[in-house]
Copies of this chain bind each other. A is one copy, B any other.
Amino acid sequence: MDNNKGWREQLRIIIFQTDTVAGRRFDKTLLLIILSSLVVVIIDSIESIHRDYAGLLAYLEWGFTLVFAIEYGLRLYCSPKPLRYAFSFYGLVDLLAIVPGALSLYYSDAQYLLIIRIIRMLRIFRVLKLGHYLKQANYLLAALRGSKQKIIVFLATVSTLVIVFGTLMYVIEGPKNGFTSIPIGIYWAIVTLTTVGFGDIVPKTPLGQMLSSLVMITGYSIIAVPTGIFTAELANAMRGEQLEHKCPVCAKNDHQPSAAFCARCGNALFPKDENKA
């Protein structure tokens, strides 16, 4: 019994932690298996490969599903609070990595849901030196959070532009030039405003081409807006340690990093003598 508990504890350390050699090896192996399973799904979709190796690939996929099922079982078994794990983000993702394999017995398209296993690749950041990446990702997230409201204003503007331009193009060009409905017009406006420009639908009337030119220049110019927002916020987040301490005399804040004296009134920002006295 005691022995059993020790074995469970040891298994938990291997499976859930990354600071032991065995734990890192386990995570690396797991990543490799996830990657292989993704590759199998992807190459199975290629006609010529499916024709020749459908059987082999199906066996492999079943094998992977089995491995993941066993792993899921072990995680439940050795977790101190199995229910909490089962309903955590990672727990649900681990479950979702198994279910489609079972479903694909009944619905043949379900196997493509296996691509959801890609989310499990997030564990890769646990294997790499986590701290560094976490800090960088935090900078990016801080910048995104800081620019959320500006981004909403921006997206609302873009949506409005796209609907108006799409409708106008539908009225101007009409179904005979490929703009068969307003939704198609909106799709075209998105293709054009984002400077993707597939070319499957193109304006053919002079008026339509003039309006298109306007849409393109708009798209080319407003690409500056999200970039500007994000850059300004990121610079802010990285300059973060920019001194927030208020000058005790003139209350100025936003000093240069590691400033010792207020750049405005020349008084010490952190009076030393008082401190020492």
Stretch of A66-74, A78-86, A262-270 lying at the B interface: A262-270
A219–B194 touching, CB < 8 Å: yes
Q: A62 contacts the other chain (Cβ, under 8 Å)?
A: no
Contact of A231 among B152, B227, B251 (CB under 8 A): B227
A170–B45 touching, CB < 8 Å: yes
Distance in angstroms between the alpha carbons of A257 and B242 in the assembled complex: 12
Contacts of A239 in B (CB 8 A): 254
A220–B217 touching, CB < 8 Å: no
User: Which chain B residue lies CB-closest to A119?
Assistant: B160
Distance in angstroms between the alpha carbons of A229 and B266 in the assembled complex: 33
Contacts of A143 in B (CB 8 A): 228
Q: Considering the complex of A and B, which 9 residue pairs feature the smallest CB-CB distances, nearest first? A: A260-B260, A261-B266, A196-B197, A250-B270, A199-B199, A259-B263, A265-B270, A194-B220, A228-B231
Q: A167 contacts the other chain (Cβ, under 8 Å)?
A: yes
A150–B163 touching, CB < 8 Å: no
The size of the chain A interface, using a CB distance under 8 A, is 107
Chain multiplicity (copies): 4
Contacts of A241 in B (CB 8 A): 254
Q: A15 contacts the other chain (Cβ, under 8 Å)?
A: no
Contacts of A63 in B (CB 8 A): none
Find residues 227-277 in chain A having any chain B CB closer than 8 Å to their own CB. 227-236, 238-239, 241, 245, 249-252, 254-270, 272, 275
A156–B268 touching, CB < 8 Å: no
Q: A18 contacts the other chain (Cβ, under 8 Å)?
A: no
**Least Cβ–Cβ distance between A52 and chain B, in angstroms:** 14
Contacts of A263 in B (CB 8 A): 255-256, 258-263
Contacts of A36 in B (CB 8 A): none
Distance in angstroms between the alpha carbons of A72 and B152 in the assembled complex: 29
User: Which chain B residue lies CB-closest to A253?
Assistant: B241
Q: A187 contacts the other chain (Cβ, under 8 Å)?
A: yes
B139–A150 touching, CB < 8 Å: yes
Contacts of A227 in B (CB 8 A): 223-224, 227-228, 230-231
Contacts of A93 in B (CB 8 A): none
Q: A216 contacts the other chain (Cβ, under 8 Å)?
A: yes
Given A115-B163, A183-B46, A259-B260; A198-B199 close (CB under 8 Å): yes
Contacts of A121 in B (CB 8 A): 160
Q: A19 contacts the other chain (Cβ, under 8 Å)?
A: no
The 0/1 profile, CB within 8 Å of B marked 1, for residues 79-97 of chain A is 0000000000000000000
Distance in angstroms between the alpha carbons of A230 and B228 in the assembled complex: 6
Contact of A226 among B193, B221, B259 (CB under 8 A): B221
